[in-house]
Structure formats: C-alpha cells, structure tokens
Structure 1
Amino acid sequence: MSYAGPEFDPFQPRRPRRRTLTVAVAVLVPAALAGWLVYEAVADTGGGRAGAAPATRSPAHSPNADSPTDDGGRTVAPPAPRPAPTAPAGTAAPAASGPLKGKVVVIDPGHNPGNFRHTAEINRKVDIGTNRKECDTTGTSTNSGYTEARFTLDVARRLRALLQAQGATVKFTQDGDRPWGPCVDERARIGNEAHADAAISIHADGASAGDRGFHVILPASVHAGAADTRPVVAPSRDLGERIAGNFVRVTGSAPADYVGGGTGLVVRNDLGGLNLSTVPKVFIECGNMRDTKDAALLTSGGWRQKAAQGISEGIVSFLRG
C-alpha cells in the first residue's frame, strides 16, 4: 500500500514456473525431507497439507490465489495435494490444539490480484467514519513487476500456518478467492463479526526510491460516523508494538527511515480498515517495494518466511499477554 495515496502502477503479472523435489533427495538425505516437511508446515500453499497423497490442482481453485514462492518468484511445488478450494473469506480455517486454542486471528491480505481489472468497483467511495474513501486500490509493485497483492497473500498464508500450528483459529478477509476487493469497510467488518482477538492487515509500501524499512500503523482515536476506535486504541498499540519488536528481531529489518521518526510505529485516522474496527487491529507495511534493496527482501521467499515468523511471534506475544 502506498503511504502517499491510492495512485499505483498497474498490475504486471508474471507466469510462475514450477519446480519439483526429486524422490532421490528424499531417499538419500532424510534430513532434507524432514526440512521440506517443516517448510510445508509453515509455508501454507492455500490449503495444502503435508503428508497427503500427491494430486493435481483442483479445477475449482481460484486463478488469483498464489502459492508461496521461492526467491526467484517460482511457485514451490509441494509433495502434498490441495484437498479443496479455499474457504470463502471470513470462514475459519481449521485449528490444531496448542497454546492459542480458542483464540481467533483475522488476517487481511492487502488489496487483491484482480483489483486492476475492476477499477470501477474499487474506486467506489465507502464511508470510513472520518470521510469517504475508495473501496480499495490496486496496490503497488516492485520495479520488476512483483505486486503487492501477490506479496500480501504469500505472507498471509505463511502466517496462517504458523498461527494454526499453535492452535489459533485463523480467518482471512480474502484468499484470492474473489475477483476483487473486498472493500475496506467489509475487511473491517469481517474481523468485527469474527470477534477477533487480534487482526492484522498485511501490506508493502510504495514510497520513493531510497526510502527503506517497515512500519506498523496503529489506529488513532476516532469517534465519528460509524467509527469508534476508542475501546481498541490501547490494545491495538500493544499489539503493534509487539509485532514491531519481533519483526525487527526476526527479519533484521530496520524501522522505516521516512515515516514514524525511527520508531517503526505510525498513528493514522484515514484508514477504513482501522477506523471501523471494533477489535484490536494494526497494519504492517513490511518494506518499500520501490526501493531496490527492500525489493530484494520482499521478493525473497526466505525473507517472507521470516516476515511471517516475526509477525506471528508478535501476535502470539500479544495473545498470551
């Protein structure tokens, strides 16, 4: 999401290439297979589960739903199938037993890969309490065409797997399972109706080249129209501070040098996803897609796994108090 406003470059999709993991590696080096299975546990491919029999992609699988990709932007081919199409947005994903059992986390992958095809719909204004704003935007991209919408889905799926492994019930606002959107007011409503214990919207910024680093956006105290963030300002700040601290520790990334005064924290009152939330919620801009050094991180599958891990550990810290 561009910090400056809703104007972004057009979507430039790239056709991913698959690569396979040979059986020989799994036979000769059991440790490598074990490492792969650990990766599959944390790099969710939109519904796949390690350990099931191989199968082809379901014809009903949404063409907009990307799987986690490697450092070269190629889709990682899992040894296990995708058993079914992704559940509709707002539907709880299965949770395992663990320390977060009973906790609900809503993950909001920013934008949508199909938004650029539906400009009329996403340019429609919606009420965000303080004013009216575009339903959604296309998002930004790196100079090489790796889109924010693709990035956010990949990190969100990795984050979902990590939280599920600890027993949390995880819901998405969208999982590449709809042609566009949802609008920012609906994204907030999904978290509210889920009575989420924590909600996070994942983004990457489109600031000027040379601007680097991440920042977490916290809700301002807003009481206007349909918006009343007063009950969630304090817990949202706690959530945001924990995510920022863990993001630095796990990824090694520094707080943004162009906003937030070096704290990695920014308070805003112009984002419908925050203004309309009645549950603790923050946004995270994981880096600046327009800076070549940040873009090298954002396009790395290994770094995106670290990003998901850092966000996860911040959420876990918040939920466990």
Structure 2
Amino acid sequence: MKNKFHVLVPDKLNPAGQSLFDARDDIETTTLHFPTEDELVAAAATCDAIAVQTTKIPRRVIEAAPNLKVVSRHGVGYDSVDVEALTERGIPLCVAASSNMVSVAEHTLYFILALAKKSVEFDHATRNDNFWIKRQMGAQDIAEKSLLIVGFGRIGTRVAKRALAFDMKVSVLDPYIEDDTIKAAGCTPVSNLDAVLPQMDFVSLHCPKSAETVNLIGKAQLAAMKPTAHLINTARGGMIDEAALYDALTSGDIAGAGIDVFAVEPPKPEHPLFQLDNIMVSPHSAGVTEQSILRMAYQTAENVLNVLDGKPDPNVAINKEVL
C-alpha cells in the first residue's frame, strides 16, 4: 500500500467531514484541541494538509511543514491564514465556498426584518406590561425600501434575491462585477459609495476583508447616511469603524445596526456597542446553522482530498494562481 497522507486537524472536525478522511485507507489524521503555535509547528512537520476551523495558521506554521500541499478552511473567511506565505510556496488555500452562503444571506434578512419591525423593542415591551409601545415606536415595511449591497459574490447575490422577493429596491456596489451582471440580477449597479449612501435605507456588507475594505464605513460614511437608515455587517469585523458606529448610533446619525462580526473577537462584555438599544448583535454566527456546519465540514475535507488526489477545484481556491 502506498504511503499515507497525513492531515493535520487543529480543531475537531464534524463527523460529516471526518468520515471522508476515515473512509480512505491512504489518509491518517491528527486532531489537536486548542493548540498553541508551538504545538502546531511541531505537528506540522509531517503533515501533507491542514484542515482548519478557527485556529490561526501563520507563516511560522507553514514554513515548518515541508510536505504541505493544501490548507483547507472550514468556512469562507481566511484572514486567520497567511495566504502570502502559502502562495510563495505554491500551496493553495481552499475554503468551503458554497457551505454557508444561504445561512449568511438568511441572517442578513433576519437583521433587516428585525430592525425594521422593532422586534427586540416590541418583545421586551410586551413582556414588561407595555402593550401600547406600538403607538410610540413605529415599525416599518421593508417593501420599497432601498438596500445597498456592498460585494456581489456568493452571499451578496443571495441577499439580493431574497431582498427583491420582499420588494426592496436593491443597489449593488462591487467594482469587480460587470454592470450587466448586476442588472441581470434585477439590481442597480453603483460605483461611488459616498455618493449613494444618502439614498439608502439599509446598507449591508458582503465583501472580503482586505486593505481596501478595512474601515470602509467610518465617520464620514455614517454621517452621510439617512438618520432613518440601518447598517448591517455579516461579513468580517474591522470593515466598520466601531467607535464611529457607536457615535453615529448615540447621536442619531443612523437609526440602528445589525452586527454579527467585530474587530476583536470575542468582544469584551463591556464593549460600548453592547450598551445601546438600537443595535442587534450576534456572535459571528450568521454562517453557523445545523445545516451549514455539516456542509462546511464535508467541503473542508472534500477540498483536502481533491488536492491530494491531484484534482483541485479552482472555484474554492483563494490563491488560484498557484494551481
């Protein structure tokens, strides 16, 4: 029998993915639990692949793995992995690209609907003998409201489809997507963020975190938005200036926000945003459902096996140039 491939699993993989490895007689896995970087370096010395969830994979770990052929990320974000170090060695970083796009899109609509319908405020008031809060605080229809989607990839396109089903007017900002593609999806392409913000009732981020998107929404952008507008981020923390968002929410520059991701995770319990009533938060859980966890684990393992079998899928590779 040929030599086995060694797959390093820094975080326990759901059986939906682990079973793919276990079914192969040419694969052996090593699972670590909350490893230190030194432990990762030691384990990486003999690995051919890394299937990772939340553990950071820095350059030092990559350089310690002479046989490394692929890193597969359990999810779609990849800021925890040193992509540059992988690319320098011709190693692909694969993501579970199709696993949680529906889940994140649904979570985005959940934020939009809950904010518009004042769900948190109404629930709290009804439980506390304030049945007539509906006379003081008006819920809104989202039909005919204007939504700006920033980023029109797998998730942004699905948010658009769902928003259009609610009769929202959807605009899209994505410099990497052709206008005709956006129009074909029933949306309006826009090219200038600052120019279009004053027209929007909802703004939702669905772009990758990069040098050009860090603090994409700051003081100036928040000041440009309607005082009745809502901002939503189910993408990555750090793309909204959180101090500026706090100021905008307390001053009335915008009406509210739905935030699933934070610049530092997990955020401290005393985070200033948590003191406000006009923001909904969730624990970076937009892409985490019972169904998506199974899909992510399966595709994480599948991506590893495809590369080891010499059949890498360019659709899931972040650094496609190495294939």
Pair in the same fold by TM > 0.5: no
Give the greater-gyration-radius structure (CA).
Answer: 2
**TM-score normalised over the length of structure 2:** 0.25
Between the two structures, name the one with larger relative contact order (CA 8 Å, sep ≥ 6): 1
**TM-score normalised over the length of structure 1:** 0.26
| Richer in helix (by share) | 2
